[in-house]
Structure 1
């Protein structure tokens, strides 16, 4: 759950757009990448069952901006189980979002991190910091150390240090 809350800080708070069949929206891609990363983390480091993972994923929608809640819930209802099944079946996490056409192919990991860093949402970070009942004190302390100007890769690196 901790990784879920921290990882969501990289999501842009723009409203969802209707997918016109020409490709996924950037928010759908962000949700897919977040779902893949969180699912993989929970499977590999926490030994969660499929049901436990799906329960944790639904909690993401409680902290996204209000204008995204319904779309997030729909995404988690329809798409998260596909992603969870694929990861439990050993599929590669790096290609799932592209495979399900939720993300356009990205030339490199560096380019993806650069794009995510441009869309970083400081207001969402502050909202997560203030939800003391949701975050452990250890995570909150680590978030205080992270400069909001840092990019996604730096934030994730700092959060992972918490679990080491």
Structure 2
């Protein structure tokens, strides 16, 4: 049947940003609204990385490459099954996002962006997490903000969560439809 519209594929999304930006909260809610699964990218780390972090040793880029490929491969596998997926992953550097997209070219990025003041307030309000301000500053300095040509959307986190989710879902659906 010519002219028939192709069914819209569920999006593959990486919710990115520094600690305290709301990756898990927003990612979970966005996944629910999109009707797809959510996973925390930290759960995809190879055993060697988990052991290194447990020992208090920071990861270097060489440690991150295999993990980022797993994140990308996981997204790709969901896409191959015509299922969507939302993954929370800091993806602070453009090279990290490129590594993910080398495995999952259609992945969209949702960059949760906020000022140091907003991020600090959020981190101080969390329970069950320990995030020193020095580490947050380090992440902010490492962050290479998402650019328009990378395929995604930058979302201001200084707004109520329901508004953030509504805006994110609207933008992601539009970006996903444009890819189809």
Q: TM-score, normalised by structure 2?
A: 0.27
Is the strand fraction higher in 1 or 2? 2
Is the helix fraction higher in 1 or 2? 1
Q: TM-score, normalised by structure 1?
A: 0.29
Task: Find the structure with the greater CA-based Rg.
Answer: 2
